[in-house]
Amino acid sequence: MRWAAAIASGLLLAASFPPLDLGWLAWVALVPVLVAGADLGPGAAFTTGWVTGAVAYGLDTSWFVTTLVRFTALDRPEAVAAHLAAVSVLAVYPGLFLLVVERARGGVWVPVVAWVATEWLRGWFFIGMPWARLGTTQHETLVVAQLAELGGVPLVSALIVATNAVVARWLQGARPVRATGVLALALAATWAWGTARLGALSESVAKESLRVAVVPGKVDQRQKWDPGYGSRILDRYVGLTRQAMAQRPDLVVWPETALPFAFEQSAGRRERIERLVREFRVPLLLGTIASERRRGRRLRRNRVYALAADGTVSGTYDKQVLVPFGEYVPLGQVMPFVHPIVGGHVPIVAGEGQAPLAVGPARIGVLICYESLLPGLARRHAAAGATLLAVLSNDGWYAGTAAPAQLAASAVFRAIETRQPLVRVANDGPSMLVDAAGRVVWRADDSGAPWHVVEVPPRGQAVSPHGEALVIVVCVLATIAALVRPGRLGLDDA
């Protein structure tokens, strides 16, 4: 019975995320495993939660196998084995969640704090994997998603888990009347808050709006780093940008690693781009790889260049958080035989804290691909005076899988948390414009036009820049307290 319940919860959780994207299922997804997990004992509770996590994360990260097969020397059985190894680690956290619930003798509020605490732990411990956080399932339910302004995705996750826990307690035969009343008030308050904030953050375009030309490029990843395609790729971006100039944009944005060469070391091609910018007097934001030498070693950075209207480089941003095993190998010193998917024998190194880029009339906080999963970076950009968040991504690594849609769903929350408009420009994936309320004003998937000019809405003012940290601290401390003094700290049904 408990194995069936564990698998059912895993399937429901997976279906809550893209590609199915049935976010409403998240509100009941944990009910089967919470009902079955009561009074199991620590070992059985952990393994039951682990199975739920293995099913959920195994399905939600199935794109990992496709990426490995396409872009590494691994064959499919080896790629599947690597995926299963990664999933077995990710599944530990739902296992810990159910272990805490069982050890602290259940109730309604223990699952809430335990889920938030373990989900946070998964996001940073060891290699860190903040993928598929429960709250992001509500990226289209904007009245609920507005909670992210107050407490980030963890607060949205907490409300979802509280609903699951109350339903589970009723099904177990308990009568959590007080908890049900508190939940009803929380849901009503959420609805009122979300409705008010959506109304306050107008959809209208500001008088001094910014017109951004989005040029995804749509370059096949298998061609991108083939030297024979370099000139053709540049021709494509230059040609599409010329077409977009007919609509008189204020800024042009190309995606992550748009150029298949080191910008500063390719004089002829660089001069061509600079001439393009000078011709139209429109600033350009573009992604490419930067190469450098440090202590005799060749290193690379995943970099975004900002070109001013006169064609000169006005600023750069280097990706600060690299993708584990994609751009670097955790504990690489003890595993020198393992190489990342990107870069191979030439290491990619992370950048350090950087200010928003001043590009024409805007101050742009840049997030490169994986960084759009990380609210802390977006908040730092907003605090430093950014007027627009720009997510530059190369989704060609995951083309044809659910990964690009999952990344795009997370990006919506960066706009809500900071109350900044956000433009996402992705090669071979969803490009979109999100307003400060999280509304997707414009979206183009792979089948859309090769360029588009969008009117960036005005930004808002976030009311609680430290709310997420507070939610996490409270939940972590409450989880520890529940383990130390189970049933004695007001975390039960009362």
Q: Give the model confidence (pLDDT) of 433-457 as tens digits.
A: 999 999 999 998 655 678 899 989 8
Mean pLDDT over residues 362-384, rounded? 92
Active site residue 208: no
Question: Encoding tokens for residue 17?
Answer: 């995320």
pLDDT at 247 over 70: yes
pLDDT at 489 over 80: no
Report which of residues 335 and 178 the model is more confident about: 178
The rounded percent of the chain whose pLDDT value lies above 70 is 90
Candidate list 256, 327, 417, 468, residue with the active-site label: 256
Mean pLDDT over residues 230-259, rounded? 91
pLDDT at 150 over 80: yes
| Count of C-beta atoms within a 10 Å radius of residue 344 | 10
**Inter-axis angle of helices 92-103 and 42-60, to 10 degrees?**
150
Positive or negative torsion for Cα 120, 122, 125, 131: negative
pLDDT digit string, tens, across residues 56-96: 999 999 998 888 888 777 788 888 988 898 899 999 999 99
Q: How many helices (H) and strands (E) does the chain have?
A: 16, 12
Q: If 0-12 CB within 10 Å is exposed, 13-18 middle and 19+ buried, where does residue 267 land?
A: exposed
Active site residue 319: yes
Candidate list 102, 218, 369, 371, residue with the active-site label: 369
* Average model confidence (pLDDT) across the chain: 87
Query: Which domains does the chain show, CATH number per domain?
Result: 2-201+467-484 (no CATH), 210-456 (3.60.110.10)
Residues sharing a CB contact under 8 Å with residue 232, sequence separation 6 or more, in sequence order = none
pLDDT at 458 over 90: no
Give the model's pLDDT for residue 340: 59
Mean pLDDT over residues 331-351, rounded? 58
The answer to whether 40 and 48 are in contact (CB under 8 A) is yes
pLDDT at 313 over 60: yes
Antiparallel, parallel or unpaired: β 452-456 and 251-253: unpaired
Residues sharing a CB contact under 8 Å with residue 83, sequence separation 6 or more, in sequence order = 58, 61, 62, 64, 65, 68
- DSSP code for 491: -
* Alpha-carbon radius of gyration of the chain: 23
C-alpha to C-alpha distances, 124 to 31, 247, 416, nearest whole angstrom:
27, 43, 22
C-alpha to C-alpha distances, 482 to 99, 385, 405, 477, 490, nearest whole angstrom:
12, 40, 37, 9, 9
Give the model's pLDDT for residue 310: 93
Strands of 234-340, DSSP E: 251-253, 284-294, 297-307, 313-318
Mean pLDDT over residues 347-375, rounded? 86
Give the model's pLDDT for residue 337: 43
pLDDT at 315 over 80: yes
pLDDT at 346 over 70: no
Long-range contact set of residues 80-85: C-beta below 8 Å, sequence gap at least 24 = 83/58, 84/58
Give the model's pLDDT for residue 256: 93
Give the model's pLDDT for residue 73: 74
What's the pTM?
0.92
Altogether, the residues listed in the chain come to a count of 494
- According to the per-residue pLDDT averaged within each range, which of 141-155, 222-236, 308-322 is highest? 141-155
Tokens 């690379």 correspond to what residue?
300
The rounded percent of the chain whose pLDDT value lies above 90 is 59
Question: Encoding tokens for residue 376?
Answer: 């802390």
**Confidence at 335, pLDDT banded by 50, 70, 90:** very low
Active site residue 417: no
Give the model's pLDDT for residue 334: 44
pLDDT digit string, tens, across residues 6-55: 999 999 999 999 999 999 999 999 999 999 888 888 899 999 999 999 99
| Count of C-beta atoms within a 10 Å radius of residue 188 | 10
Mean pLDDT over residues 338-352, rounded? 64
Report which of residues 202 and 172 the model is more confident about: 172
Candidate list 119, 149, 218, 319, residue with the active-site label: 319
**Rounded distance between C-alpha atoms, residue 463 and residue 147, angstroms:** 11
Q: Which of 132-136, 266-270, 284-288, 417-421 has the lowest mean pLDDT?
A: 266-270
- DSSP code for 348: B
pLDDT at 205 over 50: no
pLDDT at 222 over 60: yes
Residues sharing a CB contact under 8 Å with residue 413, sequence separation 6 or more, in sequence order = 135, 136, 139, 145, 148, 152, 153, 375, 438
Report which of residues 459 and 326 the model is more confident about: 459
pLDDT digit string, tens, across residues 387-439: 999 999 998 888 888 999 999 999 999 999 999 999 999 998 899 999 999 99
Mean pLDDT over residues 190-194, rounded? 96
